[in-house]
Amino acid sequence: MNKLKMALAAPLILLASVAGAQQATKFFPERPIAGDSVTISYNPEHTMLKGLAPVSGVVWLYRHNNWETHDLDLQMTDTGWVAKYLLPDSAAFMVANFMANGITDKGGKPTYAVLLSDRNGRQMPTSYAAWAFLRLAIMEGTVPHAVEDSARIADDVGVFWMNNELKYYPGSRRHIMYGAMSVLKHSGAPRANTVILREIDFISKLPDATEAELMNASKAYRNLLGDAHKADSMDQVIINRFPNGITARDKMIYKMFRAGENERLSLWNTFVQQFPLQKFMDVDTETDAMYYEKVYRGVVYQQVMRSKNLEILDQMMDLAPLICLTEFHRLLIVNALAHDQIKLAEAFPYSKKLVEHIEAYTTNKHDSNSRFYSPRQWKQYVLNLAVPAFMGHAFILHQQGDDKTALVWMEKVKDQPYAKTADFMSLYAVLLDNNGRQPEALQVAENAAGSNKATPEIIALLKKQYIKEHGNENGFEAHFQGMKNAEQLSAEQEALRAELIRKEAPAFKLEQLSGGMADLNKQKGKIVVIDFWATWCGPCKEAMAGMQMAVNKYSQDKNVDFYFIATQESRPDYREQIKKFLQTKNFHMNVLLDAKSPSSGHLDDTYNKYTKTLQFSGIPAKVIIDRHGMIRWLGTGYKGSPSALADEISYIIELLKKEG
């Protein structure tokens, strides 16, 4: 079959492909018309969603040379799930996905895609190109994840569809230029560079070329031909023609990113006047994605540091990108409170404003990250990102005694994946209990214990219920251990055994916070647990609850010692900070103060010896030494579960006890 015949057969090939998908999905009419309604019918009987309900759906449209995403309002009928959907006039292509119980049916190799027609029955311009773009691996990141890998096509097949697009719709040439040239270049076609230069010249000479089209020409120079000089020259042409456009804005963003603090603030004031923030909220360029949020946060952090207050947030919250809002809450509210950098009374009003702005994003898709999400999907995406902020705000409310409002914020995100952490379940259970919802609190506590994500607060709730049922706490520890998933515990213990090592422990003699000296050489015959931590280290302090559980378990065992070595401290009052932290949390630990290193001049001498011996970096880090002075286990970081951490430490200790 020659190329001409292949081109003429293209519509038939696509219709045959879609026919396979239509065994599960049918469109009425079979060739939907842009501007008219289409009925979409999905029968999951022979799909991965068989027997699952309810089924939801999403459609992606290729329209105005961009992708947009919409929800399908599916209704259950005798023949499956059905939705009626009004197609926009200018839509060229549509692809659907169907979901139930966390499973997504993308239609396999045929896909659930259809090319749209105009009212004369002719395929819409750019429909062939969209059909190719969707399935080409090289286009990943610029198209929705709406098809399986089995639906992918080779680059030369992509070139075939581009040729069909241009054959039948010459007017598409300017619109698909960059995508088509990317496919051609990636295909390895011998004359690719010549064709790319020709298309750049074509775009450049258009009397009505848009900024977006000229930007594609610049991208072709830079990304496809590797000619940065010509790309820069093209950028200057664009800026001269569109002085207040996207390219000029990108240049200013990068300039602010590279600028010093004083210059950045001055540039920012000019920037917001020349490029109004609201006007460019939907911009999605490489420069915007890489630098804009960093600049935005930097401007805020810089002014907070200068003014020593959060008033700048009042100016910056309304048009802040979503990630900026969540980061502001994490760093300026939660972390600042944790490090005593802000008072609760000052933090609360800004915490409230921030979470309200974050929640507003659930119905606001003016964000460059939102285009491949339907409105319902976007809402869930935002709420999942919001979990730390909403939980942090709820904790502030809890500290203020407003458990009723605190629970409201927790329940907004309780079903999100990020809400499965030990900290979230702990606070949620406490708030439920304090609001008189004891059965629900107990269920959350039991779920936490079952997944080995129990905090002291969770254990206290479970113990209270156990005493209520049994009259005393005798047997509670065995009961609590029995609540954990045995299969999960076994797998974790097997992994711990595989991590056992044997290296000689570097000796140290360090000052104890409580007075006197601690000498490792005098601990021969004992198992010693060392925790390298610092007051400035958030994960270190979060892990302390689990370490306190381990300390409590072995408090009567004279053959097990715990040393909490405060390392890399730099604040002049770090001793007082340690004491305050221990007192606030009611921790009872033997804290040692790391010595000054002769080489670095910092308080990290012992830490450096152990990092050199064990080849690790960063804190928190746990080291367990056996009775013979040999390092047998190293654990770095914190996985987020106090009970799981205590179990890890306990399991290694018991293994070493058996070794003798």
Helix ranges (H only) for 435-521 are: 438-450, 456-470, 476-482, 486-498
Neighbour tally for 363: CB within 10 Å: 10
- 562: β partners: 529
With the CA atoms of 578, 581, 582 and 587 taken in that order, what torsion angle do they form, in degrees rounded to the nearest 10? -140
Task: Please indicate, yes or no, whether the overall pTM of this predicted structure exceeds 0.85.
Answer: yes
In this structure, is the dihedral angle defined by the CA atoms of residues 358, 363, 364 and 369, taken in order, positive or negative?
positive
Residue 620 gets which letter from DSSP? -
* C-alpha pair distances (Å), 391 with each of 6, 385, 396: 59, 11, 9
The closest of 89, 62, 72 to 27, measured between CA atoms, is 72
Cβ pair 359, 394 in contact under 8 A: no
Q: Where are the domains of the chain?
A: 25-153, 498-659
With the CA atoms of 534, 538, 540 and 543 taken in that order, what torsion angle do they form, in degrees rounded to the nearest 10? 150
Residue 268 one-letter amino acid: W
Q: How many residues does the structure list for the chain?
A: 660
* C-alpha pair distances (Å), 296 with each of 26, 165, 273, 451: 47, 41, 15, 39
Give me 26's structure tokens: 């049918």
Beginning with the edge strand found earlier in the chain, give each strand of the sheet holding 560-566 in spatial order.
Answer: 503-504, 630-636, 621-625, 527-533, 560-566, 591-593, 509-512, 517-519
Cβ pair 462, 446 in contact under 8 A: yes
The pLDDT value given to residue 9: 42
Cβ pair 318, 299 in contact under 8 A: no
Cβ pair 531, 563 in contact under 8 A: yes
Is the link from the previous residue into 539 a cis peptide, with omega within 30 of 0? no
The closest of 572, 552, 569, 568 to 560, measured between CA atoms, is 552
Distance, CA of 621 to CA of 637 (rounded, Å): 6
Residue 342 gets which letter from DSSP? S
Q: Which residues of 606-625 are buried (b: 16+ CB within 10 A; e: fewer)?
A: bbbebbeebeeeebbbbbbb
Q: What is the CA radius of gyration of the chain?
A: 31
* C-alpha pair distances (Å), 227 with each of 200, 203, 247: 13, 17, 18
Distance, CA of 528 to CA of 526 (rounded, Å): 6
The closest of 435, 578, 457, 566 to 510, measured between CA atoms, is 566
Chain centroid to CA 422 = 18
Please give the biggest Cα pair distance in the chain: 92
For residue 5, the number of C-alpha atoms closer than 13 Å in the C-beta half-sphere is 2
Give me 493's structure tokens: 């213990």
The pLDDT value given to residue 23: 78
- 510: β partners: 518
Distance, CA of 199 to CA of 195 (rounded, Å): 6
* C-alpha pair distances (Å), 276 with each of 240, 245, 246, 532, 656: 19, 11, 11, 48, 64
Pick out the chain residues at pLDDT < 70: 1-22
Neighbour tally for 399: CB within 10 Å: 13
Give me 470's structure tokens: 């049994």
Cβ pair 441, 433 in contact under 8 A: yes
Residue 607 gets which letter from DSSP? H
The pLDDT value given to residue 16: 40
The pLDDT value given to residue 493: 95
- List the CATH code of the domain at 25-153: 2.60.40.10
Query: Nearest 5 degrees, angle CA 316-CA 317-CA 319?
Result: 85
Specify the pairing of strand 503-504 against strand 113-115: unpaired
Distance, CA of 437 to CA of 460 (rounded, Å): 16
Give me 363's structure tokens: 């119905």
Distance, CA of 439 to CA of 311 (rounded, Å): 42
Cβ pair 540, 581 in contact under 8 A: no
Cβ pair 621, 537 in contact under 8 A: no
Neighbour tally for 295: CB within 10 Å: 22
Distance, CA of 464 to CA of 466 (rounded, Å): 5
Helix ranges (H only) for 499-595 are: 538-553, 574-585
Cβ pair 451, 485 in contact under 8 A: yes
The closest of 336, 274, 339 to 300, measured between CA atoms, is 336
Cβ pair 105, 98 in contact under 8 A: yes
- 99: β partners: 56, 104
CATH class entry, domain 498-659: alpha beta
> Which residues lie closer than 8 Å to 320 by C-beta, 6 or more apart?
296, 328, 357
